Structures are given as structure tokens and as C-alpha cells.
């Protein structure tokens, strides 16, 4: 490093000149100015979601998007999760750290004021080495009182500090978006577990009703078997069907318990202390305003996070390039020094100095050049990450749109299948009771009816889960930090 310094002690410090010089030195910044790179965004979704057209503007997704599903118990669970979830707390603390780091970076834009106060009493040795052969040393005992403020300022001539602030500000924005994304993921996961549990409640109800019907059928067959109108095979088949349905019921109960435990963890409650009472209610898919693909650049926090990461990486290129240029520091020191406390603040006790220093790297074996290459590569990686995030967002929304369309058609077919299976079971049961057909037809139609009923319930559950997935893919209505193009 080469350092030049120059103190002046013969006149009062020109404070106005310092301010003007600082403003002049901070007038430029090396490195590329940030411009958001373009991402490939189609004009519309395919297939176009006709089920969301003609939605008024006030029905757009809002921050509390889970209220679209109109479930008070779900609203309460979301509130508890947002208040106590530990993963969300981690994201919140990281946001606090990023904001604090921004404050640290911004502090470098301003002069630093230090105040030094000292008091000492010392004795010098009379046997110390002579400073002048003609003057003998003498031992002295004296006080030294000192009070001096100092002002230092790194002149940001080439913008290293400002680029660092730019990077810190973008990183803070990224942390904000990451927090919102963690919040979105938490709520979506909670809704997914909750509606999975409610779908299992409905499926358990279907299986229980089927088991009740199968028990009644078993009693009927047992009576007919005792009377000689039913075979042992009929009795065994019905008994086997009842036991199989009971086994399925136990598996469904276990799946429900796992969903309940997952919800407990999300709302920060120990799993053994948490219960949700079973409830069978109609699950409906709310109308979702999808908007245009370009809206995702503002509505998804993960896209905003990736965009802010690009801005931070771009600013770091400027920080790295600034190392090619000298660092200039201005220093002003003044104060009072006296050997007596009573005269410390007298005019003769006053001292001051004003100076500047410049440091320039002459040779670093390519380290600065390598740092620039590292920063540039980091920016290119951030650009690729941003574009990949946008592509993933498009994929997720497309999956949600096509999934809801397919499940809507499948739900209609499943309801029709349940109706037909019920009708076939009623006919087969009547014909068997009348002695027209064998029990095999009843047995077959029972199995078909139960299978179709469960499939219909599962499809309705999948519709709601896909709606949750689509809202999450749309960003949950978050529009708090539009991606900025610099």
C-alpha cells in the first residue's frame, strides 16, 4: 500500500471546504448500474382459465387469502401459526439482521466522530537515554490531562461505500421477500394439512356409513343362511368385505392422526397436546382471480427475492472494482491538553490538526481482478436463478390451472358414478332379497359403491388442495414489494 499524508497546523480547519470536498469526491461510483434483466413471460395462461373471468377488481387476492375458504376454525389456526411458528420466527430474525446490516453499511456514508478523554500522572527516568549530550536528563513528575474529539471520513470517491450500501439495501429487500415467502409457505402448508384432514374426515364418514350398511347386510345374510336361503359362501364374502372396510377405516384414522400432528407442529403446539374434532362439511373451491403471467413478477415473494439477489450481486461488482482505485480518508483532530486540570479548557491548551491520507494498492498478484471475476460470476448466477424462479412460477401456476380444470371434470364424472353405483346396488339388493339373483351381484355393487364414494370425496379434497396450491403459486396476493428495475 502507498500512503500519502499531509497535516496542517497553521490555520483554522476549513470545515466548509471539507464538506464541499466530500460532496465532490462522492459524485461517482464504479461498477454497472443495476437494470433488471428480462425474463421470458408469456402473454396469457394455457388453457385460459375461463372460470375466473368477469371477477371484479375488489375480489383480487388479498394478504389474508385463506379467508377465501370461509372456515373460522382454519382462520384461527392460521392466526396461531403466524404468531408462534418457529420457522417463521427464524425468517423474521434474519430480516432483522439484514436491516441491521443495512444500518451498518449506511453509517459509512457519514463522518465518524470519536471523543478521547485521558488523565495520567507519570514520572520520567533521569537515567533515560540522552536526547542531547549537552543537556543532562532530570526526573520529572507531572500530570497529563487530554480531551480531544476527532472526525474521520472516508471519501467515497469511486463509490465503494455506496455500492456496498446498495448491496445491503437489496439484501434487506431480499430478506423481506424471504420472510413473506416463508409466511406464504407456512400458511399454504397449514391449509394443505387442514384440508387433507377434513378430506379424511369425509372419507372416514363414508367408510363408516358403508360399514354400517355392510353390518346390516351381514345380519340379513346370517338370518337367510340360518333359514337356508343363503349359502355359506355368501356369508363368508360379506364377512370378508366388512373386515376389509374396517381395516381401511383404521388406516384412514392413522392418516388423519398424522395430519393432525403436522398441524400441531405448524401452530407451535406439542402434538400430544393438540386435537381437532372430526367434522364433515362441504369443501368448496373459491373463485380465484388468476391475472396475467406478468403479474407473478410482483405477486410472488420468491421471485422478488431472486430479483433482489440480482441487485445485490450487481452492486458487489462495483465494490470489487473500487479496489482498483485509491482510498482517501479525511481526518480532523482537535481538543485540549494540559498538565493541570484547572487549565485544561483554557485557550493555550487548545490543539488541532487537519489532514488527509490516500492508500493505493500497487501489487496484489491478481487478487483484485479475481474478486471482480467472482462478483461478476455471482451476478450471472443470480440472473440464472431469477430466470429459473420465474420459470418455476409459471410451471406451478399452469399446473394449478390445468389441475383445477381436470379435477372439475373428474368431480362431475365421479358424482355421476356414485349415483349410478348407488342405483346398481339398490337394484342388486332388491333382486337378491327377492331371490332373483345371487349374492355375488350385491357383493360386487357394494364394493363398487364404496370405491366410487371414496373416489368422489378424494377428488373434492384434491380440488381444494389444488386451489390452495394455485393461490400459493400466485403469491398469495402479496404485492408489498414490486420488483424494481433500478
User: Domain-by-domain residue ranges, the chain?
Assistant: 1-30+111-155+325-360, 33-109+159-323+364-473
- Per-residue model confidence (pLDDT) at position 20: 47
Rounded to an integer, what distance in angstroms lies between the CA atom of residue 319 and that of residue 207?
66
pLDDT of residue 16: 45
Q: Tell me the C-alpha distance between 182 and 177, whole Å.
A: 9
Three-state secondary structure readout of the chain: CEEEECCECCCCCCHHHHHHHHHHHCCCCCCCCCCCCCCCCCCCCCCCCHHHCCCCHHHCCCCCHHHHHCCHHHHHHHHHHHHHCHHHHHHHHHHHHHHHHHHHHHHCCCCEEEEEEEEEEEECCCCCCCCCCCCCCCCCEEEEEEEEEEEEEEECCCCHHHHHHHHHHHHHHHHHHHHHHHHHHHHHHHHHHHHHHHHHHHHHHHHHHHHHHHHHHHHHHHHHHHHCCCCHHHHHHHHHHHHHHHHHHHHHHHHHHHHHHHHHHHCCCCHHHCCCCCCCCCCCCCCCCCCCHHHHHHHCHHHHHHHHHHHHHHHHHHHHHHCCCCEEEEEEEEEEEECCHHHCCCHHHEEEEEEEEEEECCCCCCHHHHHHHHHHHHHHHHHHHHHHHHHHHHHHHHHHHHHHHHHHHHHHHHHHHHHHHHHHHHHHHHHHHCCCCCHHHHHHHHHHHHHHHHHHHHHHHHHHHHHHHHHHHCCCCCCCCCCCCC
pLDDT in tens, 253-280: 999 999 999 999 999 999 999 999 999 8
> Taking the complete model, does pTM exceed 0.85, yes or no?
no
**Residue 61 confidence (pLDDT):** 62
Q: What is the pLDDT of residues 35-67, one digit of tens each?
A: 888 777 776 666 665 444 333 344 456 678 898
Query: Grid coordinates in use for 273?
Result: 397436546
* Closest C-alpha among 218, 165, 202 to residue 442: 218
C-alpha cell at 120: 495520567
Return the residue matching grid coordinates 364424472: 413
Closest CA to 149 of 117, 118, 110, 120: 117
The pLDDT value recorded for residue 229 is 82
Helix axes 72-84, 86-107, angle to 10 degrees: 50
pLDDT tens figures, 418-466: 999 999 988 988 888 777 777 788 888 888 999 999 999 999 999 999 9
Whole-number Å distance between alpha carbons of 188 and 78: 10
Architecture per CATH, domain 33-109+159-323+364-473, reads as: Up-down Bundle (1.20)
Residue that the C-alpha cell 526526573 belongs to: 139
Q: Residues 1-30+111-155+325-360: name the CATH superfamily.
A: Outer membrane efflux proteins (OEP) (2.20.200.10)
On whether the CB atoms of residues 440 and 241 are closer than 8 A, the answer is no
**1-30+111-155+325-360 and 33-109+159-323+364-473, same CATH topology:** no
Report the pLDDT value the prediction gives residue 283, as an integer from 0 to 100. 82
Give me the residues of the chain with pLDDT under 50, please: 1-26, 50-59, 481-486
At 137 the pLDDT is: 86
List, for residues 279-288, the tens digit of each pLDDT value: 988 888 888 7
pLDDT at 35: 86
First-to-last alpha carbon distance for the chain, in angstroms, is 35
Amino acid at each position: 500500500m502507498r500512503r500519502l499524508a499531509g497535516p496542517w497546523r497553521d490555520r483554522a480547519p476549513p470545515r466548509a471546504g471539507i464538506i464541499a470536498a466530500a460532496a465532490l469526491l462522492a459524485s461517482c461510483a464504479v461498477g454497472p448500474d443495476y437494470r433488471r434483466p428480462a425474463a421470458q413471460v408469456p402473454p396469457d395462461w394455457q388453457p385460459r382459465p375461463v372460470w375466473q373471468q368477469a371477477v371484479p377488481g375488489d375480489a383480487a387476492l388479498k394478504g389474508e387469502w385463506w379467508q377465501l375458504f370461509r372456515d373460522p376454525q382454519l382462520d384461527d389456526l392460521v392466526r396461531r401459526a403466524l404468531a408462534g411458528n418457529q420457522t417463521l420466527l427464524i425468517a423474521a430474525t434474519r430480516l432483522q439482521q439484514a436491516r441491521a446490516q443495512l444500518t451498518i453499511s449506511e453509517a459509512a456514508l457519514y463522518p465518524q466522530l470519536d471523543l478521547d478523554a485521558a488523565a495520567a500522572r507519570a514520572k520520567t527516568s533521569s537515567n533515560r537515554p540522552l536526547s542531547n549530550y549537552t543537556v543532562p536528563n532530570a526526573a520529572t513528575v507531572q500530570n497529563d490531562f487530554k480531551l480531544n474529539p476527532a472526525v474521520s471520513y472516508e471519501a467515497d470517491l469511486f463509490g465503494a461505500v455506496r455500492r456496498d450500501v446498495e448491496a445491503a439495501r437489496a439484501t434487506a429487500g431480499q430478506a423481506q421477500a424471504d420472510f413473506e415467502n416463508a409466511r406464504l409457505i407456512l400458511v399454504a402448508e397449514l391449509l394443505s394439512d387442514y384440508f387433507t384432514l377434513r378430506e379424511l374426515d369425509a372419507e372416514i364418514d363414508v367408510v363408516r356409513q358403508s360399514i354400517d350398511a355392510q353390518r346390516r347386510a351381514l345380519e340379513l345374510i346370517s338370518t337367510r343362511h340360518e333359514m337356508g336361503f343363503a349359502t355359506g359362501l355368501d356369508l363368508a364374502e360379506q364377512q370378508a368385505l366388512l373386515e376389509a372396510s374396517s381395516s381401511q377405516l383404521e388406516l384412514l384414522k392413522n392418516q388423519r392422526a398424522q395430519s393432525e400432528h403436522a398441524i400441531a407442529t405448524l401452530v407451535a403446539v406439542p402434538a400430544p397436546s393438540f386435537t381437532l374434532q372430526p367434522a364433515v362439511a362441504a369443501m368448496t373451491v373459491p373463485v380465484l382471480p388468476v391475472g396475467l403471467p406478468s403479474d407473478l413478477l410482483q405477486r410472488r415473494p420468491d421471485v422478488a427475492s431472486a430479483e433482489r439477489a440480482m441487485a445485490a450481486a450487481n452492486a458487489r461488482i462495483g465494490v470489487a472494482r473500487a479496489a482498483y482505485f485509491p482510498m482517501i480518508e479525511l481526518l480532523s483532530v482537535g481538543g485540549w491538553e494540559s498538565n493541570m486540570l484547572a487549565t485544561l479548557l483554557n485557550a493555550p491548551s487548545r490543539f488541532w490538526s487537519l489532514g488527509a491520507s490516500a492508500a493505493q494498492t500497487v501489487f496484489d498478484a491478481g487478487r483484485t481482478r479475481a474478486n471482480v471475476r467472482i462478483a461478476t460470476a455471482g451476478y450471472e448466477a443470480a440472473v440464472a436463478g431469477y430466470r429459473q424462479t420465474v420459470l418455476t412460477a409459471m410451471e406451478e401456476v399452469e399446473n394449478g390451472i390445468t389441475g383445477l380444470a381436470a379435477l372439475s371434470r373428474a368431480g362431475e364424472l365421479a358424482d355421476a358414478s356414485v349415483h349410478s353405483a348407488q342405483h346398481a346396488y339398490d337394484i342388486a339388493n332388491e333382486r337378491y332379497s327377492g331371490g332373483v339373483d345371487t349374492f355375488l351381484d350385491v357383493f360386487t355393487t357394494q364394493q363398487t359403491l364404496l370405491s366410487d364414494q371414496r373416489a368422489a370425496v378424494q377428488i373434492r379434497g384434491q380440488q381444494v388442495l389444488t386451489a390452495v396450491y394455485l393461490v400459493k403459486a400466485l403469491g398469495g396476493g402479496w404485492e408489498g414489494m414490486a420488483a424494481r428495475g433500478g
